[in-house]
Amino acid sequence: MIVNYNKNGLVPAIVQDAQTKTVLMLGYMNKEALEITQKCKRVTFFSRSKNRLWTKGEKSGNFLNLKSLKIDCDGDTLLIKASPEGPTCHKGTDTCWEEENAQDFGFLSDLEQVISNRKHTPNDASYVSSLFEKGINKIAQKVGEEAVETVIEAKDQNDELFLEESADLLFHYLILLQAKSYCLSDVVNVLKSRH
């Protein structure tokens, strides 16, 4: 790997959680910090303010364990994927931007939040709220119905209907998870444990 260090002999290193993909922090590395990081598998930086090497977590115990390291197309920025042991920021937050380091499934996470809002703040005009009002049996029944309809469409040749039924199944399954006080990340954790 050829690194184009700046005039001060440093290269910016973006640290991302290897699992959640959340950006945790930005630090700087010199050649020695990069070598130590690769050898010891704990992310080490060069502190510009203290003018010395420092391993993230050396005082707090909140280490960043190296999972992978890549360099960008210009050779002047590193992307480090790491597994954090505790909060990353010296202020005690998950990230240096005070964001929660949580698994995010994009639109599905947004949809989960909408479903949770409908559960905890019912709305008379909401289909989801009406399902929660009818109880777990009705929600489970809907998941079963959508599963059967998805299987039926899988056996036919209409891809559009198959995808629509698949979306209905996933939607109602997310409602069922919320009804049982779980979320998609709980299911993902079970899958990870089986991997």
Q: Where are the domains of the chain?
A: 11-84, 107-194
| pLDDT tens digits along 138-188 | 999 999 999 999 999 999 999 999 999 999 999 999 999 999 999 999 999
Reply yes or no on domain 11-84 having CATH 3.10.20.810.
yes
Decide if 11-84 and 107-194 have a common fold. no
Task: Kindly report the pTM of this predicted structure.
Answer: 0.76
Reply yes or no on domain 107-194 having CATH 2.60.40.1180.
no
**Is there a contact between 28 and 51 (Cβ–Cβ < 8 Å)?**
no
Task: For 31-79, give the DSSP string.
Answer: HHHHHHHHHHSB-EEEETTTTEEEETTTTTS--EEEEEEEE-TTSS-EE
| pLDDT tens digits along 76-114 | 999 999 999 999 999 999 999 999 999 899 999 999 999
